[in-house]
Amino acid sequence: MSDNGWINAELFTEWGHCFLKSLPKDDPQPHLLLVDGHSSHVYNIDFLNLMKDNNVYVFSLPPHTTHYLQPADRALFKSLKHFWRLEGRRVTRESAGKRLDRALFMPLFSKAWSKAATPENAQAGFRRSGIHPFNPDKIDKSLFMPSQTTETVFDHACPTQEHDDDSFQVIPGHTPRHPLHDAVQPEIPLPQLAPQPSPQPAQPPPQLAIVTPPPLAQEVEVATEPDLSFMSLVTLPVRERPSSSRQRAKPPSYNLTSQEHFNFVKQKKEKSKAKKTPKHSKMHQVHQDACKVCGFLYGDTNDPKLREEWVSCEVCWNWYHGSCAEESGIIEDNKAFTCTSCLFPEM
């Protein structure tokens, strides 16, 4: 296990030896290993040489696609989470809710892993990702479309149960009824009565007059002010940052065992070594030089400023205590220091 718990190049190379032991012996056919774009996979020359010497082709999955193309994400991890929850609930019931101890983690995880890491789940992961059998239709075509915005405008006007005055109409000769009248008062059948002689035709009822209130003398328009915010009233200063067109160098091919990728990794490592060389020599020089102002060597136990940080001039590389540098030059915001001798060489 590494010091920080994460995978590194040395551990992954050790895993490569274990992987080769699991391959069938005396098999002349090439093998394919799929990995993600982690640095311990892509820039690990020792591991890639080991795979190439044993007839294993290493391919890297495209970035931001592992949740659809990686078989473990499609089948194994979901099953592993399910069995892990079952084991955790079982221990919680048996211990009456006691907190899970670290010593029990590996025994519980081993049980969940043995149930989830089955050949059936491994094969299902390759089928769902469309890798084997090869089936491009397993990935929905809509996933290749650009993402859409998810902003939704909500209508804050809540519907009310109150009716406006215009919702009721007065019809001559008709008594207005509430829409729920028929639902509240169900119809009751009336008893049959003896036939009565037809009465004389009655006079038609008088027409009902609709009375509307007089209009207001003057209509008052209410002006709605626009929504004001603090940002619309006060202009905040914006810090101007220098635009940078620097982009991260991408591997030229997803085939990590190709000669093109080997050349790319070698060039990248040579550039990184060239960048680290000046900093490395500069950091070791502080143990040999003395402060340009007070003359104490770095790490001297008699130095009254032993616990202060040291800085070096960006031009002449002379070393100073932090307090001595403040008095003998200029320290910029990015902690770059230039001594007075380099600022004013004429003096």
Give the domain ranges of the chain. 68-144, 286-343
Whether the CB-CB separation of 122 and 131 falls below 8 Å is answered with no
In angstroms, the CA 298 to CA 286 distance is 6
Q: Cα-flanking dihedrals φ and ψ of residue 57, to 5°?
A: -90, 130
Q: Which residues contact 200 (CB under 8 A, 6 or more apart)?
A: none
pLDDT in tens, 223-278: 555 667 776 777 777 666 665 555 667 888 899 999 999 999 988 888 777 665 44
Q: How much is the pLDDT for 280?
A: 41
- Asked if the model's pLDDT at residue 108 lies above 60, the reply is yes
| Residue 41: closest CA among 319, 254, 281, 347 | 254
Average pLDDT in the 88-99 region? 89
Whether the CB-CB separation of 283 and 312 falls below 8 Å is answered with no
pLDDT in tens, 22-79: 998 888 899 999 999 998 999 999 999 999 999 999 999 998 888 899 999 999 999 9
pTM metric for this prediction = 0.52
pLDDT in tens, 292-338: 888 888 878 888 888 888 888 888 888 888 888 888 888 877 778 88
184 pLDDT band, cuts 50/70/90, is: very low
Q: How much is the pLDDT for 330?
A: 82
pLDDT in tens, 145-163: 877 766 565 554 444 444 4
Residue 314 one-letter amino acid:
E
For 247, other C-beta atoms within 10 Å of its C-beta total 6
In angstroms, the CA 259 to CA 265 distance is 10
Q: Which residues contact 128 (CB under 8 A, 6 or more apart)?
A: 71, 74, 75, 138
Token pair for 239: 């810090």
3-state helix, strand, coil in the chain (%, to 5): 40, 5, 55
Q: How much is the pLDDT for 301?
A: 81
Check: CATH 3.30.40.10 for 286-343? yes
